[in-house]
Structure 1
């Protein structure tokens, strides 16, 4: 591993402490613009705000491109040329990835308490998307700002902001994969796991299961009908038994719809099934066992859309030197350690890791409650996390070598 002269991480963190109130202000600006994954106008406004904030803090980028998302939020890349030196005379290239969409429906912000009571003596800030992951977005922008102000050589940095991560990165995945292959390393600004970076994530499947039965009058001729709802209920119960938590495999049916009227034997029903696996072997097993499920009424047809969304992520050989570098920076900050962990959730880091490229995830907020009412951050950790990312950028003026 090679490293360019870099500003001391402790100095960067101290500077982040001096401007922490401004960073928090930017976090709250982003939170106050609601960006539900399903609200295209809100997403467009949110991305415009995010771009304006980036340009305000860093100036106009050397290159930018907005990729239309269609039925999803757009993806935006902003590239700032580096000052480092390397094999190609252009120095290193770091990709910072963050999504601006949230799971929260538009209107959730009204009545949401921003300052939360604390049971541990620490202030907490709350808001829809503050933890997952608008704090990470603001911290990433400020990390580059502080690293640039230090005067040290820096890599080229590309920000990639996508508006569909919470619904599977359906539009942005090819952009992420393309841009990641042009960068030396990728840092994903998702929230930490209680301060730990995330080096292993489960793969995810978003399956749509459709049952097609036979409609009939529920009172006059129920025997002529074949209930899609009954059959799909049988399928859902059987599918839950395919889960193997001891192997890291979970199966959750989160959506169930069907029928046309209360007095009609249902002719169709659908279920949305969330599947998490920790290995490709488990992915294959789940596919096979779900396909083998039989329902009691042979007149009902079951169709399964095996939509595997993200591959499992592990700490690959390319990412190990990046983790070691981040730990060096954390030690310079005065931290005792920078732990890494495996988590059940997936992120856009899964795509990058599957390509065999160096990536670290969970470089963002410290807090808790992702996807839960009352998600929060600890604002006293904002300087440390911002300084960590700034310090890593300062070490990557030359391409990382393992």
Structure 2
């Protein structure tokens, strides 16, 4: 490592550049502006850069290999955030002691910045790039389920020997993520028969009643002891208080630790049938991200990361978490380790921040891991 590595002042300058480009997932032009900055950084390091269909960018550092032993290391990042335009006015970039606040800092623009500083350091070492090089994939739509980037992510994973994800560590810890629940969602639409609630209630078929019965059936599908959670988060229905409601919609969140549980719940949701035959039910959705299940490949990467952290003077644990990432797509394909971004807390919340007193250690860890792999 070079004596000045990592340079916190330079990292903060780069992070501020990205954070002050607000990049909600719904604005492809704004997200592309973040990617344009990172592409300039990549070209400064001699990377080959490609724009893929749908807005994904792929950067390759070093020489591409031809054999199984010199396939590239793939690093996953995303340029989008959950924050709408104008958030900076209410959540401005600011530092309070060792905490650096701002929308997208923790999830995951600091992860992008730390990665590029690790790559810059790797480029200055006498060993140069690892055999097969390093590929960096930047998704434009991770926060909304990666609809346009999933295919590119899976294709890149098929050609990689290991995948590192620079999402942040577990909140307010050094812990890496060695597994993630699979995530899914369903939309259930109930169509009944409207009628006057006072004069002819018997002629109506209540969509809200059918939906209420379904809520209990849906939430009974949960198996917390297996890591399966089912939550009806949104209910919309009815037209007026004196009308038997003809429409109701449920929005349902699903989290599973195994693919078998995802298949069980999906089949059960598809089999739901309203008690009143005059009410029809339409179901859309399913499992969006497969579970990131622990395996020997991931645990091997974790053991190497833990050994490096020990040499650097700190320790990292690991956890399986409920939220999904693009690592869910790669874990069934290639050994994957997640949580290698910047420590902090407040993902998707008003107190989102990065811990500056821990960030440097994690950038050193990432640089060493890239070099040693």
TM-score where L is the length of structure 2: 0.90
Q: Distance in 2 between matches of 1:15 and 1:385?
A: 15
**Residues 330 and 336 in structure 2, CA contact (< 8 A), matched pair in contact too:** yes
Partner residue in 2 for 1:394: 371
Q: Alpha carbons of 1:323 and 1:294: their partners in 2 closer, same or farther (altered >3 Å)?
A: same
Question: 5 Å matches for 1:103-252?
Answer: 103-115=82-94, 123-155=98-130, 156-193=133-170, 194-218=173-197, 221-252=200-231
**Residues 97 and 189 in structure 1, CA contact (< 8 A), matched pair in contact too:** yes
Tell whether 2:3 aligns with 1:28. Answer: no
Pairwise CA distance, 1:348: 1.0
Among 24, 30, 33, the residue aligned to 1:45? 33
Partner residue in 2 for 1:321: 300
Among 324, 336, 340, the residue aligned to 2:318? 340
Pairwise CA distance, 1:143: 0.7
1:286-327 CA-partner distances (Å, limit 9, x unpaired): 234434545443311122224211111122222233222222
Partner residue in 1 for 2:60: 79
Q: Alpha carbons of 1:305 and 1:78: their partners in 2 closer, same or farther (altered >3 Å)?
A: same
Partner residue in 2 for 1:16: 5
Partner residue in 2 for 1:68: 53
Pairwise CA distance, 1:177: 0.6
Pairwise CA distance, 1:259: 4.2
**Unaligned runs of at least 5 residues, structure 1:** 1-10, 397-402
Q: Alpha carbons of 1:380 and 1:82: their partners in 2 closer, same or farther (altered >3 Å)?
A: farther
Partner residue in 2 for 1:379: 356
Alpha-carbon RMSD across the aligned residues, in angstroms, is 2.4
TM-score where L is the length of structure 1: 0.84
Q: Distance in 2 between matches of 1:262 and 1:142?
A: 60
Q: Distance in 2 between matches of 1:255 and 1:43?
A: 28
Q: Alpha carbons of 1:252 and 1:175: their partners in 2 closer, same or farther (altered >3 Å)?
A: same
Q: Alpha carbons of 1:292 and 1:222: their partners in 2 closer, same or farther (altered >3 Å)?
A: same
**Unaligned runs of at least 5 residues, structure 2:** none
Q: Distance in 2 between matches of 1:46 and 1:225?
A: 53
Question: 5 Å matches for 1:265-276?
Answer: 265-276=244-255
Greater mean deviation of Cα atoms: 312-321 or 88-97 = 88-97
1:230-249 CA-partner distances (Å, limit 9, x unpaired): 32233223312222222211
Pairwise CA distance, 1:53: 4.1
Q: Distance in 2 between matches of 1:225 and 1:41?
A: 48
Partner residue in 2 for 1:5: none
1:49-87 CA-partner distances (Å, limit 9, x unpaired): 3323444xx44522x221232xxxx2111111149xx88
**Residues 200 and 315 in structure 1, CA contact (< 8 A), matched pair in contact too:** yes
**Residues 195 and 366 in structure 1, CA contact (< 8 A), matched pair in contact too:** yes
Question: When the two structures are aligned, how many residues end up with a matched partner?
Answer: 369
Q: What secondary structure sits across from 1:318 in the alignment?
A: helix
Partner residue in 2 for 1:282: 261
